[in-house]
Amino acid sequence: MWDEFVYQSLPMRVVFGAGTSARLGEEVDQLGLTRVLVLCTPEQEALGRRVADGLGSRAAGVYPHARMHVPVEVAARAREAAAELGADGCVAAGGGSTIGLGKAIALEHGLPVIAVPTTYAGSEMTPIWGVTQDGRKRTGRDPAVLPRSVVYDPELTLTLPVPLSVTSGFNAVAHAVEGLYAPDASPIISLMAREGAQAILEALPLVAARPTDLAARTRAQYGAWLCGAVLGATTMSLHHKLCHVLGGTFDLPHAEVHTVVLPHVVAFNAPACPALTSLLGADPGGALWDLATKLGAPRSLAELGLPASGIAEVVRQATASPYANPRPVTADDLTRLVEAARHGERPTVS
Ligand SMILES: NC(=O)c1ccc[n+]([C@@H]2O[C@H](COP(=O)([O-])OP(=O)(O)OC[C@H]3O[C@@H](n4cnc5c(N)ncnc54)[C@H](O)[C@@H]3O)[C@@H](O)[C@H]2O)c1
């Protein structure tokens, strides 16, 4: 029951469905753009070239150098390339790293971004940008970086390897989970969070069993859209704080860290958030951990590279600045939580 809330919707255009990336030209025209730079990672250069070919004369070129966590040098070179080619917008075709590069260009040059997401990370639905310099990640919120249009074509996710599909799916579920207890949650956010998490959680076992199952991929991406919208509209809590520190300071891989940490945070927060048990059952942290295990995902921060000596630093950084969480967190609580996640223990309701 909601007695009071504030909800501000973001100005987004979403085109969803198998084969919709073939209509990208219409999106470019709709925004009044004439020469867009196509961004992608080196690993997805073939996709970038295909997208550019489909855009024909509307494509100014392909920039296949997106990298995880958007290093400032990469962003600077991409901005130069966009200026030299006379681009008036960008098409970011890929996961959170590629969309992050588009946002870094938009932040300084104001070029509109069209996102074509190929993972479940959800960056395309948020006004959150991030760049990394000297090993430190700076992030912020700015409406200027929010993609003007998002084209979700599940066919482009058929090639997403199963391990990344699973961890990227857990990354999306994490947005929904923290949306359920966000300080700025609202009825519409809760609806999106529940629907999004359920869709992804149902689809992941099917995707893992048959990665080319287009119906399962479609359901997973539908869930990822909703979970990303939750991330874009709310303030995240303990889970995202921990993952930010683990990724930023220890350079641990983004989606995998989310997958390992989420069951532990859910188990910790469950006593203070009944919505978690109604979404995931009586043992919500254990249920997520069991699913991750069944789908072969990593379960310990140790295997991702967190040394035992790093736990104190994670706790120090995660407690240094206040942030919202449904259950108060002490340094001792966090130490226990990070130790359990480092060892890969099944979380227990505390
Ligand atoms: N700003 C935000 O709101 C936000 C939200 C979520 C994630 N992020 C950021 O996004 C980054 C992580 O993004 P990610 O998890 O999507 O991974 P990613 O974009 O780094 O992609 C991982 C790898 O998978 C490849 N890949 C992606 N889609 C593929 C596909 N369909 N087929 C084959 N290969 C594919 C990529 O080319 C890359 O090599 C992190 O830097 C994270 O901080 C930002």
Q: What is the pLDDT of residue 344?
A: 97
pLDDT above 90: residue 298: yes
Domain boundaries along the sequence of the chain: 14-157, 162-343
Confidence of residue 190 (pLDDT cuts 50, 70, 90): very high
Name the residue at shortest CA distance from atom 29 of ligand 1.
160
Confidence of residue 77 (pLDDT cuts 50, 70, 90): very high
Q: What is the pLDDT of residue 85?
A: 97
Q: How many Å lie between the centroid of ligand 1 and the Cα of residue 69?
A: 9
pLDDT above 90: residue 109: no
Q: What atom in ligand 1 is closest to the CA of residue 137? A: 43
Q: Which superfamily does 162-343 belong to?
A: Dehydroquinate synthase-like - alpha domain (1.20.1090.10)
Count Cβ atoms below 10 Å from residue 347 Cβ, excluding itself: 22
Q: Averaged over 116-141, what is the pLDDT?
A: 92
Name the residue at shortest CA distance from atom 28 of ligand 1.
118
pLDDT above 90: residue 35: yes
Q: How many Å lie between the centroid of ligand 1 and the Cα of residue 328?
A: 31
Q: What atom in ligand 1 is closest to the CA of residue 159? A: 32
Q: What is the pLDDT of residue 350?
A: 64
Q: What atom in ligand 1 is closest to the CA of residue 247? A: 43
Q: What atom in ligand 1 is closest to the CA of residue 130? A: 1
**Segment among 2-6, 65-69, 146-150, 264-268 with least mean pLDDT:** 2-6
Q: Averaged over 67-80, what is the pLDDT?
A: 94
The whole-chain average pLDDT of the chain stands at 96
For 223-273, the DSSP string reads: HHHHHHHHHHHS---HHHHHHHHHHHHH---HHHHHHHHHHHHHHHHGGG-
Q: How many Å lie between the centroid of ligand 1 and the Cα of residue 155?
A: 17
Name the residue at shortest CA distance from atom 4 of ligand 1.
123
**H, E, C per residue of 275-334:** HHHHHHCCCHHHHHHHHHHHCCCCCCHHHHCCCHHHHHHHHHHHHHCCCCCCCCCCHHHH
Structure tokens at 188: 């519409």
Q: Averaged over 146-162, what is the pLDDT?
A: 98
Q: In which residue are the tokens 């469950």 written?
A: 270
Confidence of residue 65 (pLDDT cuts 50, 70, 90): very high
**What is the fold, at CATH topology level, of the domain defined by 14-157?**
Rossmann fold (3.40.50)
Sheet holding 149-152, edge to edge: 14-16, 149-152, 113-117, 89-94, 36-39, 59-63
Ligand 1, CB within 6 Å, residue ranges: 41, 43-44, 68-69, 94-98, 100, 118-119, 121-123, 126, 128, 130, 156-157, 159-160, 164, 168, 231, 254-255
Out of 97, 146, 252, mutate this one to test ligand 1's pocket (max ligand atoms within 8 Å of CB): namely 97
- Considering only residues 134 and 252, tell me which one the structure prediction assigns the higher pLDDT: 252
C-alpha distances in Å from residue 305, one per residue of 66, 256, 336: 23, 11, 18
- Considering only residues 30 and 350, tell me which one the structure prediction assigns the higher pLDDT: 30
Confidence of residue 43 (pLDDT cuts 50, 70, 90): very high
Structure tokens at 276: 């978690």
Annotate 309-334 with b (16+ C-beta within 10 A) or e (fewer). ebbeebbebbbeeeeebbbebeeebb
C-beta of residue 260 within 8 angstroms of C-beta of residue 300: yes
Q: Which amino acid is residue 145, in one-letter code?
A: V
Structure tokens at 160: 């997403």
Q: Averaged over 98-106, what is the pLDDT?
A: 97
Confidence of residue 288 (pLDDT cuts 50, 70, 90): very high
Q: What is the pLDDT of residue 48?
A: 98
Name the residue at shortest CA distance from atom 5 of ligand 1.
123
Q: What is the pTM of this model?
A: 0.96
Out of 103, 234, 254, mutate this one to test ligand 1's pocket (max ligand atoms within 8 Å of CB): namely 254
CA pair distance 66, 96, nearest whole angstrom: 10
141 forms beta bridges with 128
Q: How many Å lie between the centroid of ligand 1 and the Cα of residue 117?
A: 9
